[in-house]
Amino acid sequence: MEKGAYAVIFTSRLRDADGYGALAARMEELARAQPGYLGHDSVRGEDGLGITVSYWATEDAVKAWRGNAEHLGAQAMGRERFYDWFRLDVCGVERSYGFDRG
């Protein structure tokens, strides 16, 4: 990821998975269509702990996604129903590197 990009780290514990998969898939579709979306990775373990990292071109893109109307509805459902807890870190990417066996 380029310096200047933003990474949003969403760490959560799921308590009720009923209906969560469809909502998460819809949010992924919606995020991909947002201006400034650069990509994301998401993993959830069998114990319900999950980490999703989404990458954004600018801070304005992060704010626009947070304030998206349909996303706000999903956020409310998350608090009311799906999550035991979550944490969200908004971060500025300073440097990235990687390895690929290719």
Q: Determine, following the binding rule CB under 8 A, whether residue 86 of this chain makes contact with a second copy.
A: yes
Q: Are 70 and 78 in contact (CB under 8 A)?
A: no
Question: Of 18, 29, 45, 69, which one interacts with a second copy (CB under 8 A)?
Answer: 45
Extract the tokens encoding 88.
Answer: 């969200």
**15 vs 5, 47, 78, 80, 85, CA distance in Å?**
32, 10, 10, 11, 9
Question: Of 22, 33, 43, 69, which one interacts with a second copy (CB under 8 A)?
Answer: 43
Q: Determine, following the binding rule CB under 8 A, whether residue 29 of this chain makes contact with a second copy.
A: no
Residues making contact with a second copy (CB under 8 A): 1, 7, 9, 11, 15, 41-46, 49-51, 53, 78-79, 83-101
